[in-house]
């Protein structure tokens, strides 16, 4: 239903259309550029409007960038008028807001005028400014900086909203032993690709779905990288669901020098937990939290706004309870239903305004409880077109999250469904290397994978 004579814009214009709950029947777009003027003509459901913008252009890249902005903004304004709806991030799609802000700042401009022009709401412009401020001292564009990621795509059971490629461990146990052997091989081989190591992250899935001896194999192999590259760097284990926590696992993590742990309630409502199939209670979360707190790790708590018909008050209460614990980090996600999530088939439409209210109240509660926002990202299909925000106590920001979101750092990632990243800051070139997604194919191809990845990082 969208036709444009400007091929490089087709997907991006569709992204703008998808922002809106209501959809036009047809969008026709034509573009021409003459003597420094960008002409964008749109016909939406039979109604035509023309837009005319001027900009100084130095090269082809700049020309495309400007046209992208003008055309998206024009279509956004048209649809916003037609459907009487505005979006929290205006016409911004397809680029992380903080990345765009840094691009502007690094060209010597304040980023605010561009954000205002793209109709980003004031509180979101403020959010980006606060994030850039709290990343000072962490954000670093230096080639060779590296983060190390180990993927453990196993979970106790599958949660209904989740589309991550992970599998219940009782169904994949047969793959676990060979998987761990492959990880050991990959980790040993990866050392030569690691430059200036800034952080290590063992994620999932749910790393604590593994039993103690299995977990110890992963920690032992990872210790080789950390100890030989940077023995004091940040070291996170995304332990995960509270129902699989034990003293023995926590002690093991402490023995191997882990510094940061994620314990994720997602919500503080037992009714919601039951609906989303998390198979644990709020009391289980508190038990896991108290158990962990004794070991003096930095703790992160994940929450999700928009779960299973939760009201704004239920969510607010959850954020207040999370803030009361005064964990070092709290991450507020907005529900994002992709294919693969069981809930996707059962949910038609999410109340965007509710989610925006939830997000707004999480900002107030966390700000007044001593937290600052330190990273953010948006995803397609995110409820209410909002964003995920990581909050931190002062000087406790997670380096790994900042590096990954701002894409300033190489990511050497091992395991199935791990995506390695090579960043060349001087030329702004980012290349990715994805491992096989499914366990069996990963295990069968690990030797070739190691060879290819070594080449990728050469």
Ligand X SMILES: C[S@@+](CC[C@H](N)C(=O)[O-])C[C@H]1O[C@@H](n2cnc3c(N)ncnc32)[C@H](O)[C@@H]1O
Binding site for ligand SF4 (CB under 6 A): 155, 158-159, 162, 164, 166, 204-206, 240-241
Please identify which residue in 238, 284, 357, 410 interacts with ligand X, judged by CB under 6 A. Answer: 238
CB of 278 to ligand X, least distance (A): 8
Q: Are 437 and 165 a contacting pair, CB within 8 Å?
A: yes
Specify the stretch interacting with ligand X by CB under 6 A; choose among 107-115, 198-206, 403-411, 422-430: 198-206
Q: Establish if 302 lies at the interface with ligand X (CB under 6 A).
A: yes
Number of residues engaging ligand X in binding (CB under 6 A): 20
Is 161 among the residues that bind ligand X (CB under 6 A)? yes
Count Cβ atoms below 10 Å from residue 156 Cβ, excluding itself: 19
Q: Which does 333 bind (CB under 5 to 8 A by kind): ligand X, ligand SF4, none?
A: ligand X
* Residue 302 touches which of ligand X, ligand SF4, none (Cβ within 5-8 Å per kind): ligand X
204 binds ligand X (CB under 6 A): yes
423, two tokens: 């960043």
Name the burial class of residue 170, with classes exposed (0-12), middle (13-18) and buried (19+) by CB atoms within 10 angstroms of its CB.
exposed
Distance from C-alpha of 103 to C-alpha of 109, rounded to nearest angstrom: 9
Q: What phi and psi values does residue 456 have, to the nearest 5 degrees?
A: -60, -35
Task: Pick the closest to residue 79 from 162, 2, 169 (CA basis).
Answer: 2
The packing angle between helices 282-293 and 247-255, to 10°, is: 40
Write down the residue that tokens 């980012």 correspond to: 430
Instruction: Return the one option of ligand X, ligand SF4, none that residue 158 interacts with (CB less than 5 to 8 A, by type).
Output: ligand SF4
Owner of token pair 């926002």:
373
Span 313-342, contacts to ligand X by CB under 6 A: 333, 335-337, 341
The yes or no reply on residue 164 touching ligand X (CB under 6 A) is yes
CB nearer to ligand X: give 31 or 442. Answer: 442
Residue 97 binding ligand X, by CB under 6 A: no
Whether the Cβ atoms of residue 135 and residue 406 lie closer than 8 Å to each other: yes
Q: Shortest Cβ distance from residue 310 to ligand X (Å)?
A: 13
Closer residue to ligand SF4 in complex, CB, 24/156: 156
Residue 36's φ and ψ, nearest 5 degrees, are: 80, 5
Dihedrals phi, psi of 312, to nearest 5 degrees: -60, -40
Nearest to 75 by CA among 113, 48, 42: 42
Q: Does 240 bind ligand X (CB under 6 A)?
A: yes
Using CB under 6 A, which of 16, 150, 162, 397 touches ligand X? 162
Residues that bind ligand X (CB under 6 A): 155, 161-164, 204-206, 238, 240-241, 264, 266, 302, 304, 333, 335-337, 341
């Amino acid at each position: 239903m969208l036709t444009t004579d400007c091929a490089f814009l087709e997907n991006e214009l569709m992204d703008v259309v998808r922002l809106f709950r209501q959809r036009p029947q047809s969008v026709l777009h034509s573009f021409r550029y003459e003597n420094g003027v960008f002409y964008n003509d749109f016909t939406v459901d039979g109604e035509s409007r023309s837009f005319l913008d001027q900009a100084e252009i130095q090269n082809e890249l700049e020309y495309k960038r400007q046209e992208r902005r003008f055309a998206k903004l024009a279509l956004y304004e048209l649809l916003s008028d037609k459907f009487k709806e505005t979006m929290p991030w205006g016409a911004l799609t397809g680029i992380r807001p903080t990345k765009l802000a840094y691009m502007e700042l690094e060209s010597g401009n304040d980023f605010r005028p561009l954000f205002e022009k793209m109709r980003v709401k004031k509180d979101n412009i403020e959010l980006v400014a606060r994030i850039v401020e709290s990343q000072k001292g962490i954000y670093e564009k230096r080639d060779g900086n590296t983060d190390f990621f180990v993927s453990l795509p196993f979970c106790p059971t599958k949660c209904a909203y989740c589309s991550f490629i992970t599998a219940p461990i009782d169904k994949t146990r047969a793959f676990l032993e060979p998987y761990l052997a492959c990880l050991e091989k990959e980790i040993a081989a990866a050392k030569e690709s690691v430059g200036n190591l800034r952080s290590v992250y063992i994620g999932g899935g749910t790393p604590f779905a593994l039993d103690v001896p299995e977990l110890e194999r992963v920690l032992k192999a990872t210790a080789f990288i950390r100890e030989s590259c940077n023995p004091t760097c940040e070291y996170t284990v995304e332990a995960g669901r509270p129902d699989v926590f034990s003293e023995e696992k926590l002690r093991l993590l402490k023995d191997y020098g882990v510094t940061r742990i994620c314990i994720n309630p997602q919500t503080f409502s037992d009714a919601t937990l039951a609906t989303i199939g998390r198979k644990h209670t709020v009391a289980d979360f508190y038990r896991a939290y108290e158990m962990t707190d004794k070991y003096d790790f930095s703790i992160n708590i994940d929450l999700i706004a928009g779960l299973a018909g939760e009201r704004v008050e239920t969510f607010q209460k959850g954020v207040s309870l999370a803030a009361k614990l005064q964990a070092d980090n709290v991450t507020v996600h907005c529900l994002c239903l992709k294919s693969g999530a069981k809930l996707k088939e059962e949910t038609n439409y999410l109340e965007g305004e509710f989610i925006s209210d939830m997000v707004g109240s999480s900002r107030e509660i966390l700000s007044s409880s001593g937290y600052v926002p330190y990273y953010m990202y948006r995803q397609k299909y995110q409820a209410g077109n909002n964003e995920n925000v990581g909050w931190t106590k002062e000087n406790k920001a997670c380096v790994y999250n900042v590096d990954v979101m701002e894409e300033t750092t190489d990511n050497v990632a091992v395991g199935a469904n791990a995506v390695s990243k090579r960043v060349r800051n001087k030329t702004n070139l980012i290349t990715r290397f994805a491992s096989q997604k499914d366990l069996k194919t990963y295990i069968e191809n690990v030797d070739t994978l190691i060879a290819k990845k070594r080449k990728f990082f050469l």
